[in-house]
Amino acid sequence: MNTWKPRIASIALFVVGVALLSSRPTPSAGAAAAAQAPPSQGAADGIRVVKGAIDMHFHMDAPAVAGRGGQASIALVRAAQARGVRGLMLKNHYESTATLAYHLRLEMPDFPLFGGIVMNRANGGMNPAAVEYMANHIAGSPGRIVWMPAGDTESEAKVSDNPKRPFVTVTKNGQLTPETKEVLGLIAKDHRLILASGHVPASEVLLLFTEAKRMGITHMIATHAMDFFPGDKPVKMTVPEMQQAAKLGALMEFDMRNMFNDGAVRADALRAVGSENAFISEFWTKNNPREYAEPNAMGEFVKKMKAKGFTDHDLDTMFKTNPAKLLELPVP
């Protein structure tokens, strides 16, 4: 059998391949240097702010059959850790995240992860039993925040497509309900627990914080302090209302994702409230696909904040120091 012709053809193909490879241009010294170059100044600023930051509002709601979905995933938890984030507060409007935090801690033991519960209808409404369980019956005590209703408030129900739908009552006739006071009492018994206002309107926020201070609660958050839902409209709390809440001991939450929307009114309000009375959460730099704490985009955010008069110290206070104090972690 004559086999020399296929062999010659194979040898010829090999020779041509080597010639083609040797003819490819080699990377220039400039390209090689660029590949090893340090990050740009903007990216470096973003990396500096992210390193050691704590995100107190990291949504992990499961995607819904219909409607809103696409929240954070376990892969994005790992991405946050890889980019230098110090820790995360996991949130879900419809389920407690304390057990989720417990299990993720087993996989990422060097990454502080915490959870909480929202007083929404899916969680039993204003549910003292659920708060007590979260606080006292999960190993390692990962459950830290009790959010007031978010999505199930009376004000949100009234402006929804179904204004007669059920809602969770926080106040009645201008007073906190007995169930609300019972929940506050449980928070007051445990110095690690944090009261967050959820989506309730400003008048109820101030009632909550006034009673919470009277009970001795020291960790309080005005959730999305300026944002009224639905629609993320910046009309929830005015600057004087936020200043009043700060005097009661609460920290104002501002989101990185919408800080410069609506003519940057949130950034201007934050300047008036003061970095010592606030923190920044939700480090989303892109939505489709989701991108978390991307260095260049974070650097651009830092640049815009500095143009508004915020210093590195202000940014560190809001990204690192104040969240650490809320969680009773060592302050950097």
Model confidence, pTM: 0.87
Helix (H) or strand (E) holding 188: helix 178-188
Tokens 């199930």 -> residue: 152
Report residue 111: phi and psi, to 5°. Answer: -125, 105
Maximal C-alpha separation, the chain: 101
The topology under which CATH files domain 52-326 is TIM Barrel (3.20.20)
pLDDT 10s digits, 100-157:
999 999 999 999 999 999 999 999 999 999 999 999 999 999 999 999 999 999 999 9
pLDDT at 81 over 70: yes
With vertex at residue 91, the alpha carbon angle to CA 88 and CA 94, rounded to the nearest 5 degrees, is: 165
Q: What is the mean pLDDT of residues 245-253?
A: 98
pLDDT of residue 10: 45
146 vs 126: CA distance, rounded Å: 10
Question: Do residues 237 and 222 touch, judged by C-beta distance below 8 A?
Answer: yes
Tokens 């606030």 -> residue: 278
pLDDT at 251 over 60: yes
pLDDT of residue 37: 47
Domain ranges of the chain: 52-326
Q: What is the mean pLDDT of residues 3-9?
A: 44
Long-range contacts of 130-138 (CB under 8 A, 24+ apart): 130/96, 131/183, 131/186, 131/187, 132/186, 134/96, 134/98, 135/186, 135/190, 135/192, 135/193, 136/190, 138/98, 138/99, 138/102
pLDDT of residue 188: 98
| pLDDT band (50, 70, 90) for residue 231 | confident
